[in-house]
Amino acid sequence: MAELAMSIALRTDFGLLIDGKLEPSDEQLDVINPALGEVFARCPAATRAHLERAVTAARAAFPAWRDKSFSERAALIKKMSQKLRENQQELAELLTREQGKPLAQSIAEIDRGAAQSDGMVGIEIPVEVLADDKDKHIELRYRPLGVVGIITPWNAPVSLALGPLVSALYTGNTVILKPSPYTPLSTLKLGELLREIFPAGVVNVLAGGDALGVWITEHPKVDKISFTGSVATGKKVLASAAATLKRVTLELGGNDPAIVMDDVDPKAVAQKIFFASFVNSGQVCMAIKRIYAHEKIYAALCDALVAEAKKAKVGNGLDPATELGPIQNKMQYDKVVGIIEDTKKRGAKFLTGGDIPKGPGYFLPPTLVTDVPEDSRLVQEEQFGPIVPIMKFSSLDDALERANDTRYGLSGSVWTSDVTRGAEIAAKLEVGTAWVNQHRATSAFVPFGGAKESGLGRQYSALGLKSYMEPEVVSVAK
Ligand code: NAD
């Protein structure tokens, strides 16, 4: 491991991006490599004074940026995607070191972010004519809001920054971007790259702890918050934003069900279901977190999933053989270990995993369990780690009721060889996105977001872009 960690000479001396300049801070954040459980870098943490300067810069840059056309802004965003691709290797290595995911998946995250960015700037937000006759002309226009505060989590720091960032910038807003204190480096590096493309003040990047997030959500001169993170924090963000009635988009946690029908070939679907459950070691908002399998294929599906789990190589993300990296931080690791212990106490059967490996690093193997009580923590909570329950059903109504019996509603999927029936069943899931024979499929022109406590509003697509704008009616009496 130590050898691997030494094999790449990586710059980690980043600054905060404020008004086009890179700034240091007297306050610092330690950044831990989760594969080793050791601090490998430090970076500046923004103070309130940094935030004030960033907000002032973002406000000052707003009028000129707002007045550019969509196509002018799109051209700079495309340059940004190009720059991301040119710097992909360095950015990916940084991401793997701080986040833990396998290097190939870090590269894929950057690719996905760049592709989504290019896709989003192809979407038009035209003026809508609501009425036009001899007496009147009524238009619905959309104008930028002003300064958008973007707050991101640690599981996919690059792609989860790029979605809201491009939405805000393309629609004419300026930005303050704050990454998670656990994964600040790839976002600070992103800031360095953006500095070469966008006018000063249009994008400001501030690393910092949770308090910085609070200051951003409270700030009277920030017009919108785009938050991606946990349900608990999302509620605090909404409460804080209410004081100034900021616009808010919340992309929160999930407890996604997958309903596997009796007409599937278990071996054929197992690989896809396994990947959708365990990629990034289960640390994905829209990972499959509960599997409901029809009794007819239940045993065969369990066997096929166990075979996938046994094949998956867990290790340091810098090792090219690694498929599943560590849990990203100690707090989350302790939470998942707590869920494993609780699941044992509840009498569940562990098909794989269950023993906690000795360190270093926050590693846990892919863990599949059956015979789990529906009211256990594993079924009720968002585990956000590599442990997934497989539960049996005999009637579809029962499966749907159990799948929907949760405060979460991010996404879900139905697996069947009858795609027409699959779509009908999927529509009954109380979620923002219901997939058939796939999971985790998103794109720039398709809205994504949560139902129930999984969020508020949508990201991506014209629907998502419009949430970074204020609708304004212009009504003319002729
Ligand atoms: P978190 O809520 O702990 O933190 C997210 C961000 O909020 C961090 O930058 C943090 O510093 C900041 N923050 C913390 N307290 C704050 C406050 N009071 N006010 C403002 N900002 C504050 O979430 P996390 O543990 O970093 O991320 C994991 C969670 O994110 C999971 O629940 C996961 O499902 C969710 N998530 C959702 C999506 C989605 O698109 N729906 C995507 C990825 C992750």
Digit-coded pLDDT (tens) for 223-276: 999 999 999 999 999 999 999 999 999 999 999 999 999 999 999 999 999 999
| Confidence class for position 3, pLDDT limits 50, 70, 90 | very low
Backbone angles phi, psi at 63, to 5 degrees: -60, -45
Backbone angles phi, psi at 185, to 5 degrees: -70, -45
Residue 9: per-residue pLDDT: 59
What mean pLDDT is predicted for residues 453-458? 98
Q: Which residue reads 């900021």 in tokens?
A: 246
The yes-or-no verdict on residue 91 having pLDDT over 60 is: yes
| Confidence class for position 359, pLDDT limits 50, 70, 90 | confident
pLDDT digits (tens, 9 = 90+) for 4-30: 444 445 777 899 999 999 999 999 999
Cβ–ligand 1 distance for 19 under 6 Å, the answer no
Residue 11: per-residue pLDDT: 79
230 CA from centroid of ligand 1 (Å): 4
Cβ–ligand 1 distance for 450 under 6 Å, the answer yes
Residue 7: per-residue pLDDT: 44
Question: What gap in Å lies between CA 389 and CA 120, rounded to an integer?
Answer: 36
| Confidence class for position 2, pLDDT limits 50, 70, 90 | very low
Residue 10: per-residue pLDDT: 74
Burial of 37 from C-beta contacts in 10 A (0-12 / 13-18 / 19+): middle
**With contact defined as beta carbons under 8 Å apart, do 386 and 282 qualify?**
yes
| Confidence class for position 1, pLDDT limits 50, 70, 90 | very low
The yes-or-no verdict on residue 449 having pLDDT over 90 is: yes
Residue % of the chain over a pLDDT of 70: 98
What mean pLDDT is predicted for residues 297-316? 98
What mean pLDDT is predicted for residues 206-222? 98
What mean pLDDT is predicted for residues 388-404? 98
Backbone angles phi, psi at 138, to 5 degrees: -120, 125
Output the average pLDDT for the chain: 97
457 CA from centroid of ligand 1 (Å): 16
The yes-or-no verdict on residue 433 having pLDDT over 80 is: yes
What mean pLDDT is predicted for residues 167-189? 98
Residue 360: per-residue pLDDT: 95
The yes-or-no verdict on residue 187 having pLDDT over 50 is: yes
* Shortest-distance atom of ligand 1 to CA 229: 30
State the catalytic residue, choosing from 98, 251, 308, 382: 251
Number of residues in the chain: 478
Distance of CA 111 to the CA centre of its chain: 15
* Shortest-distance atom of ligand 1 to CA 450: 41
Residue 168: per-residue pLDDT: 99
Q: Which two tokens stand for residue 357?
A: 């490996």
Active site residue 251: yes
Name the amino acid, one letter, at 185.
Answer: L
